[in-house]
Chain A
Amino acid sequence: MHVVLSISAKRLALGLATLLAISLIVFFSVELLPGDLAEAVLGQGATPEAVAALRHELGLDRPAAVRYMAWVLDLLHGDLGRSLATGRSVAELVADRLGNTVVLALAAAAIAMPLGVGLGILSTVYRGRAFDRVASTASLAGISFPEFFTAYMLVAIFSVKLGWLPAVALVGTGESWLQRLVVLTLPALTLALAVVAYVLRMTRAAIVGVMAAPYIEMAQLKGISPVSIVIRHALPNALSPIINVVILNLAYLVVGVVVVEVVFVYPGLGQLLVDSVSKRDIPVVQACCIIFAATYVLLNLLADVLSVLSNPRLKRPRQQV
């Protein structure tokens, strides 16, 4: 356990450093956006004096470096600032949306991960046979279609033609879990289809890579059944890459949902980001970016820790003699 802790601590420190670097990039690339809130609020016809006055009021006329320091210090105190557009606290604004995005991501993951890993395992058991080829081709097709295309196809079939599921995923506060689930089905399915193929292919590749090892031949010579060989002998040695692809895709599900949220008008973080960019609501944009980055960093940390836990040689390094 000692090893796991020390690795986690190291990765966490690295992660924080990464986040700091990202905060720099986020802040200054947002600076590069043409125009600012003052111009956006006052519109095309505003006099330069009025724009300057509003800028001064909002503190936008201070040097970028000063504003960056102030922002990071606030961030470290847990203060995400106030939305320039609405004046609401960014934390409040983001919290709701983040919750929605996470629910959607989890729903998609609940479909995609077991399906991807399961099909990947079956593909190895039946490798070279019809099942393997069909799964491989179908998953390739899944990767090839862009998400908005998949999304509109699903809407066309399930909402327009069959009328089973709503085309728009507007969620309020008063609905039951079941209603929410129904509403979430199509966006979750869209996301899942985009991800399942990666997970399947990576799982298959990881296990097949292990199947050439001498200990697999040993298992065959012990008369272990093919299914058992894949699940009990090969899979435990292929866990590390599988964990990594699962978690990387999980991160993608949180971060990469912008298109899908827009298509289904789902009130998640992606939508908020798109809205805020168009309104030049800089604090919200920055907060969203930092949250996305933190998601990646934390999930990767988790992947590293799980990889170590799955490998006895790392978990229990041989004592030096």
Chain B
Amino acid sequence: MTIEQRVISMHPAVNREVILDIRGLEMEGFSGGSWHKIVHGLDLTLQRGEVLGLIGESGAGKSTVGLAAMGYARSGCRVTGGTVLFKGQDLLRMPAAERRRLRGLKIAYVAQSAAASFNPARRLMDQVIEVAVTRGGRSRDEAVRDAQDLFHRLALPNPETIGFRYPHEVSGGQLQRVMTAMAMACRPDIIIFDEPTTALDVTTQVEVLAAIRRIVEEFQTAAIYITHDLAVVAQLAHRIMVLRHGRLIEEAPTRVMLAHPQHEYTRSLWAVRKLAKDPEPRGDELLKVRGLLAHYGTVPVLEDVTVEVERGRTVAVVGESGSGKSTLARVITGLLKPASGEITFFGEQLPRAVKDRSKEQLRRLQMIHQSPDASLNPRHTVREVIGRPLEFYFGLSGQRREQRIVQLLDMIELSSKYLDRLPSALSGGQKQRVCIARALAANPELIICDEVTSALDQLVQEEILKLLLRLQGELSLSYLFITHDIATVKAIADRVVVMHKGRVVQQGTKAEVLTPPHPAYTKLLLSSVPDVDPDWLNRLLAARQPAVSSVAS
């Protein structure tokens, strides 16, 4: 099906029936052994057919408020005050069974990760039509036909048969649209979209955004769209509310908010997008990867990849998931043995497998991973985490080790009071700093950064990127920076490598890659990055018709 063009009116819906009215919502969360206030007297109204954007960094209480709009609190959360009126009935005070009957039928939910939120043991169709059949008063056949129609409207491939697959047989972007169909199955009055595109690649995000926007408009469904990405919400929402620490910072119609943000915090949400590193001239060669070929089993994942990193410079590797960029990191670090090709580093050829490399070769090449939660041992204190490489590479112990740890903490702008903290007592940004310190402890020449900022909020991202830039200046470090985010590329890169399906499709200086003319895939990738401009999606869809189908598939 072709993507239908629709320019939706971005004016706030006026004088329509108020369908959801949250007044003075107070919520508490349980952490560190006691209850803390996490939502402070929030008011929120939603009119029939209106899309409300709820935006803020993580911990701002967006999801908590979104779920409260369904009368639901996750375990470890509780509502302590206020009312949630859905068509005049208070969801918080009605009997549980009655509240349950509204869910799925009148108020539906679309979760962040469709891959995790679909039941892996059941076919998609069974899950999509479940509520419509058990409580929506439809026959199975009717519900199936309707679901197929929704799949069709959401531009899913094979709408007749996709429902009979299991979740693991369908891609992430498609699952997210199937989940939207599931939410829409009973034609609810309200749908809560909780970061539905955050886990997707930019190229997929565009398709999902367009599909969601079209169907919400078509059925005049009211929606609360939760995201941390202002550019995304700008494409859909009539009105935006900015939350921080469970409080409303600012609320305005989308265009007004974007044109004249009132609050400093709102402006800071653009932060990373404004960072831009001035590219440096070429330096001495530090790492050269030539003609790399690698397979997972019999599936080729890297084909003839040639990349070069210079001393004191940053090479950004961009591409969507599955493009082979993380595999490239695994091959360079020796975790995955390539079938052929050579890696020259620091003037010598590196053995292909990590176990054949000398300690000195290992020391010079360090890596920082995407998720500090996964790469930090939850039972090791900051001292142990940073102390370990000092012992391993330099045999430091006792007082000398302690001094070096404090010195490293200082470099990542953390004080020595964090020495005995466990990762669980650190914020996301602090954890990633500790990971940076662990890499620095080895005095490396090159650090491979694998999506190190993707799991973080905009503000924290900016801080981490600035920190990495400062460290690069001071220590003349080189970075191989893997990312899918073009704003991050602008912020940090000297050179850029664009990967697609295991091949390098373009590489050059940042200016060369980011300024037209682009090869087809680079063009698709760059154009998919949302702008903080409410007309961006309309313009893109209008311009893109042939490009999407020919390159993305």
A residues contacting B by CB (< 8 A) are 213-215, 217-225, 228, 232-233, 236-237, 239, 310-313, 316, 318, 320-321
Partner among A213, A233, A321 whose Cβ is within 8 Å of the Cβ of B116? A213
Tell me, in angstroms, the Cα distance from A221 to B73 when the chains sit together.
Answer: 10
Q: Which residues of B contact A215 (CB under 8 A)?
A: 116-120
User: How near does chain A come to B483, taking the closest CB pair, in angstroms?
Assistant: 24
Partner among B101, B108, B130, B168 whose Cβ is within 8 Å of the Cβ of A318? B168
Partner among A214, A223, A313 whose Cβ is within 8 Å of the Cβ of B102? A223
Instruction: Across the A-B interface, give the 6 residue pairs with the lowest CB-CB distance, nearest first.
Output: A223-B103, A222-B104, A236-B121, A223-B104, A214-B116, A221-B109
Closest to B116 in A: A214
Q: Which residues of B contact A313 (CB under 8 A)?
A: 120, 166, 168
Are the C-beta atoms of A236 and B119 separated by less than 8 Å? yes
Given contacts A214-B117, A236-B121, A237-B120, contact A222 B74 (CB under 8 A): no
Tell me, in angstroms, the Cα distance from A236 to B167 when the chains sit together.
Answer: 14
User: How near does chain A come to B236, taking the closest CB pair, in angstroms?
Assistant: 21
Tell me, in angstroms, the Cα distance from A269 to B407 when the chains sit together.
Answer: 73
Are the C-beta atoms of B119 and A223 separated by less than 8 Å? no
Per the 8 Å Cβ criterion, residues 117-160 of B in contact with A are 117-122, 130-131, 134-135
Check B498 for interface membership: any CB of A closer than 8 A. no
Closest to A239 in B: B121
Q: Which residues of A contact B297 (CB under 8 A)?
A: 320
Tell me, in angstroms, the Cα distance from A84 to B406 when the chains sit together.
Answer: 80
Are the C-beta atoms of B121 and A218 separated by less than 8 Å? no
Q: List 6 A-B contacts (CB under 8 A).
A: A214-B117, A222-B109, A223-B103, A223-B104, A224-B134, A236-B119
Check B70 for interface membership: any CB of A closer than 8 A. yes
User: How near does chain B come to A100, taking the closest CB pair, in angstroms?
Assistant: 39
Q: Which residues of A contact B298 (CB under 8 A)?
A: 320
Q: Which of B101, B130, B135, B297 has the most CB of A within 10 A?
A: B130
Tell me, in angstroms, the Cα distance from A311 to B119 when the chains sit together.
Answer: 11
Tell me, in angstroms, the Cα distance from A311 to B131 when the chains sit together.
Answer: 24
Are the C-beta atoms of B119 and A237 separated by less than 8 Å? yes
User: How near does chain A come to B170, taking the closest CB pair, in angstroms?
Assistant: 9
Q: Which residues of A contact B104 (CB under 8 A)?
A: 221-224
Are the C-beta atoms of B122 and A218 separated by less than 8 Å? no
Tell me, in angstroms, the Cα distance from A81 to B108 when the chains sit together.
Answer: 70
Q: Which residues of A contact B134 (CB under 8 A)?
A: 224, 228
Check B373 for interface membership: any CB of A closer than 8 A. no
Tell me, in angstroms, the Cα distance from A213 to B72 when the chains sit together.
Answer: 16
Tell me, in angstroms, the Cα distance from A321 to B502 when the chains sit together.
Answer: 12
Q: Which residues of A contact B391 (CB under 8 A)?
A: none
Are the C-beta atoms of B120 and A222 separated by less than 8 Å? no
Given contacts A214-B113, A236-B121, contact A221 B168 (CB under 8 A): no
Per the 8 Å Cβ criterion, residues 51-82 of B in contact with A are 67, 70, 72, 74
User: How near does chain B come to A308, taking the closest CB pair, in angstroms?
Assistant: 13
Are the C-beta atoms of B105 and A223 separated by less than 8 Å? yes
Are the C-beta atoms of B101 and A223 separated by less than 8 Å? yes
Tell me, in angstroms, the Cα distance from A145 to B185 when the chains sit together.
Answer: 53
Please encode chain B, from 80 to 120, with 1 for each CB lying within 8 Å of some chain A CB and 0 for all others.
00000000000000000000111111001101010011111
Q: Which residues of B contact A217 (CB under 8 A)?
A: 74, 111, 117
Main secondary structure of the interface of A (DSSP, over half): helix
User: How near does chain A come to B105, taking the closest CB pair, in angstroms?
Assistant: 6
User: How near does chain A come to B444, taking the closest CB pair, in angstroms?
Assistant: 35
Per the 8 Å Cβ criterion, residues 159-180 of B in contact with A are 166, 168-169
Are the C-beta atoms of A222 and B111 separated by less than 8 Å? no
Are the C-beta atoms of B121 and A311 separated by less than 8 Å? yes
Q: Which residues of B contact A220 (CB under 8 A)?
A: 72, 103
Tell me, in angstroms, the Cα distance from A98 to B179 when the chains sit together.
Answer: 54
Q: Which of B116, B119, B169 has the most CB of A within 10 A?
A: B119
Q: Which residues of B contact A222 (CB under 8 A)?
A: 103-104, 108-109, 130-131, 182
Closest to A315 in B: B166
User: How near does chain B come to A241, taking the closest CB pair, in angstroms?
Assistant: 13
Tell me, in angstroms, the Cα distance from A222 to B130 when the chains sit together.
Answer: 9
Given A221-B72, A233-B122, A321-B299: 12 more A-B contacts, CB < 8 Å: A214-B111, A218-B111, A220-B103, A221-B70, A221-B104, A223-B105, A224-B134, A233-B119, A237-B119, A313-B120, A313-B168, A318-B168
Given contacts A214-B113, A224-B130, A236-B119, contact A312 B101 (CB under 8 A): no
Q: Which residues of A contact B111 (CB under 8 A)?
A: 214, 217-218, 221
Closest to A317 in B: B168
Q: Which of B67, B111, B298 has the most CB of A within 10 A?
A: B111
Tell me, in angstroms, the Cα distance from A217 to B116 when the chains sit together.
Answer: 10
Closest to B74 in A: A217
User: How near does chain B come to A207, taking the closest CB pair, in angstroms?
Assistant: 12
Q: Which residues of B contact A312 (CB under 8 A)?
A: 120-121, 166, 168
Tell me, in angstroms, the Cα distance from A223 to B168 when the chains sit together.
Answer: 24
Are the C-beta atoms of B122 and A223 separated by less than 8 Å? no
User: How near does chain A come to B64, taking the closest CB pair, in angstroms?
Assistant: 13
Closest to B192 in A: A221
User: How near does chain A come to B301, taking the closest CB pair, in angstroms?
Assistant: 11
User: How near does chain A come to B195, taking the closest CB pair, in angstroms?
Assistant: 13
Are the C-beta atoms of A320 and B109 separated by less than 8 Å? no
Q: Which residues of B contact A232 (CB under 8 A)?
A: 122
Tell me, in angstroms, the Cα distance from A237 to B121 when the chains sit together.
Answer: 6
Q: Which residues of B contact A237 (CB under 8 A)?
A: 119-121
Are the C-beta atoms of B116 and A223 separated by less than 8 Å? no
Q: Which residues of A contact B118 (CB under 8 A)?
A: 215, 218
Tell me, in angstroms, the Cα distance from A219 to B122 when the chains sit together.
Answer: 12
